[in-house]
A and B are shown apart, each in its own frame.
Chain A
Amino acid sequence: MDALYLLVPLSIVIVFAAIWVFFRMSDSGQFEDMVGPALRVLQDDDRGEG
Chain B
Amino acid sequence: MSALPREIRAHDGCFHCGLPVPANSHWAVEIDGLSRSMCCPGCEAVAQAIVQNGMTDYYRNRTDFAVTAEQGAALPAQLRLYDQAASNDASRNPDGMLEATLSVDGLRCAACVWLIERRLGQLPGVMAANMNVATGRLFVRWDPAQCKLSGILGAMREIGYPAYPFDPARHEAQLRRSGRTLGRQLFIAGLSMMQVMMYAVPAYLATDGTLESDMAALMQWASLLLTLPAVVYSAQPFFRGAWAALRQRALTMDVPVALGIGAAFIASVAATMRGSGEVYYDSVTMFIFLLLCSRLLELTARRRAAHALERLQHGLPDAAQKLPAYPASRDTVTVAAADLEPGDVILVRPGEPVAADAVLLEGQTSIDVSLLTGESAPQRKLAGDAIPGGAVNAGQAALLQVSRRAGASTLASLVRMAESAGQGKPALSQWADRVAAWFVAGLLLLAGAVFLFWQWHDAARAWPVAIAVLVVSCPCALSLATPSALAAATDSLLRRGVLILRPHVLETLHRATHVVFDKTGTLTMGKPVLRDVCLYGDVERETCLHIAAALEACSAHPLAQALAAAASGKRPNASELMQFPGQGIAGSVDGIPYRLGRADFVAQLSGRFLAPAGMPGVSAVWLGREGRLLARFDLADGLRDDAHDVVERFRKAGKQVMLLSGDQQAMAQEVAQKLGIADALGNQLPEQKLAYVQRLQHEGAVVAMVGDGINDCAVLGAADVSFAMGSGAALAQSHADAVLLTGRLEALADAAESASAAMAVVRQNLAWAMVYNMIAIPAAAAGLISPWMSGIGMSVSSMLVIANALRLRGGRKGS
Contact = CB atoms under 8 A, between A and B. Distances in A.
B1 A44 contact: yes
B191 A18 contact: yes
Given A36-B132, A40-B113, A11 B180 contact: no
Contacts of A11: 195, 198, 222
Chain B binding surface, main DSSP class: helix
A46 to B, nearest CB: 8
A18 B218 CA distance: 21
B425 interface: no
Interface string B165-201: 0000000000000001001100110011001001100
Given A15-B191, A43-B110, A32 B219 contact: no
B225 A36 contact: no
B688 interface: no
A19 B215 contact: no
B114 interface: yes
Contact of B215 (A1, A26, A32): A1
A39 B132 contact: no
A9 B219 CA distance: 9
Interface residues of B, number: 35
Given A35-B133, A42-B110, A15 B226 contact: yes
B121 interface: yes
Of the candidates B192, B215, B219, the one having the most CB atoms from chain A within 10 angstroms of its own CB is B215
Contact of A47 (B121, B183, B184): B121
Interface in A15-35: 15, 18-19, 22-23, 26, 31-35
Interface string B1-29: 10000000000000000000000000000
B408 to A, nearest CB: 33
Contacts of A39: 109-110, 113, 133
B110 A40 contact: yes
A8 B113 contact: no
B222 A8 contact: yes
Nearest to A43: B114
Contacts of A4: 215, 218
Nearest to A5: B218
Nearest to A18: B191
A10 B460 CA distance: 36
A43 B132 CA distance: 16
Given A35-B134, A43-B114, A50 B54 contact: yes
B524 interface: no
A18 to B, nearest CB: 7
B135 interface: yes
B195 A36 contact: no
Interface string B406-447: 000000000000000000000000000000000000000000
Contacts of B1: 42-44
A28 to B, nearest CB: 12
A19 B192 CA distance: 10
A48 B226 CA distance: 46
A26 B191 contact: no
A34 B57 CA distance: 24
A15 B198 CA distance: 13
A32 B132 contact: yes
A40 B180 CA distance: 23
A33 B176 CA distance: 11
B8 to A, nearest CB: 16
Interface string B226-239: 10010000000000
A22 B225 CA distance: 18
A26 B180 CA distance: 8
Contact of A12 (B184, B187, B222): B222
B199 A8 contact: yes
Nearest to A39: B110
Contacts of B54: 50
B118 interface: yes
A12 B226 contact: yes
Nearest to B1: A44
A39 B226 CA distance: 37
A15 B57 contact: no
B134 A32 contact: yes
Contacts of A36: 113, 131-134
Contacts of A1: 212, 215
A23 B187 CA distance: 10
B83 interface: no
B61 interface: yes
A49 to B, nearest CB: 10
Contacts of B226: 12, 15
B117 interface: yes
A1 B210 CA distance: 12
A35 B219 CA distance: 39
Contact of B114 (A8, A34, A40): A40
A19 B212 CA distance: 30
A5 B1 CA distance: 55
A47 B133 contact: no
B688 to A, nearest CB: 51
Contacts of A44: 1, 57, 61
A50 B198 CA distance: 54
Contact of A19 (B110, B133, B183, B191): B191
Contact of A33 (B117, B133, B199, B215): B133
A4 B221 CA distance: 13
Interface in B125-183: 131-135, 180, 183
A33 B222 CA distance: 35
Interface string B85-123: 000000000000000000000000111011001100100
A29 B54 CA distance: 31
A26 to B, nearest CB: 6
Nearest to B198: A11
Interface in B562-616: none
B180 A34 contact: no
Nearest to B118: A47
Given A32-B132, A33-B134, A47-B118, 10 more contacts: A11-B222, A22-B184, A22-B188, A23-B184, A26-B183, A32-B180, A39-B113, A40-B114, A43-B1, A46-B114
9 contacts: A19-B188, A19-B191, A22-B184, A26-B184, A32-B132, A36-B133, A39-B109, A42-B110, A47-B121
Interface of A: 1, 4-5, 8-9, 11-12, 15, 18-19, 22-23, 26, 31-36, 39-40, 42-47, 50
